[in-house]
Amino acid sequence: MNKLLMAALCAALACGSAWAVDPIRPEEIVLTHAAPLQKISGKIKGRATAEYSIAVPAGAKIDIRLTGANRSANFNVTAAGADEALFVGSRDGNRFHATAPTATVYRVSVYLMRNAARRNESASFVLEAGLGAAR
């Protein structure tokens, strides 16, 4: 009986990493006309995602730029309630700029591409978010 219990415990521990949820660190970036630019430094590793929410008033211009030490670091931008990203960094580059048609909250997700995530690479990054005229 003890051997069966030990075998079941070992199997559960071996599968534990498959059950683990990829870590997401949500944070809020507050942009105002008094402080229109925020620079956030961070680090991601493996399948971890750094996630930021930015509230943008109607008609305001938003500019987001990512610089990182790892070429596989990218970011996506999704509007509140949207099913698909407005901006996909791996396809669209390292800078997003738009004018918000209505007051909305944009979700910015910084991640490593799958090839780097599988190798458990890490990336330091700086995310710059600006409100107002494009920089």
Residue the block writes with tokens 């700029």: 97
In a domain, 10, yes or no: no
Beta strand pairing call for 73-79 and 104-112: antiparallel
In a domain, 4, yes or no: no
CATH label of the domain that carries residue 76:
2.60.120.380
Whether pTM exceeds 0.85: no
Return d(Cα 87, Cα 62) in angstroms, integer: 13
Tokens of 108: 């910015």
> Which residues share a beta bridge with 77?
87, 108
Return d(Cα 68, Cα 75) in angstroms, integer: 11
Tokens of 75: 């970011």
Residue 29, CA distances (Å) to 22, 38, 68, 91 in order: 22, 7, 19, 24
Tokens of 92: 């669209």
Domains contained in the chain, number? 1
Per-residue pLDDT of the chain (135 residues; tens, 9 = 90+): 454 444 444 444 444 444 344 566 577 887 776 677 889 999 999 999 999 999 999 999 999 999 998 999 999 999 988 999 999 999 999 999 999 999 999 999 999 999 999 999 999 999 999 987 433
Structural domain range at position 74: 22-131
Tokens of 127: 């995310």
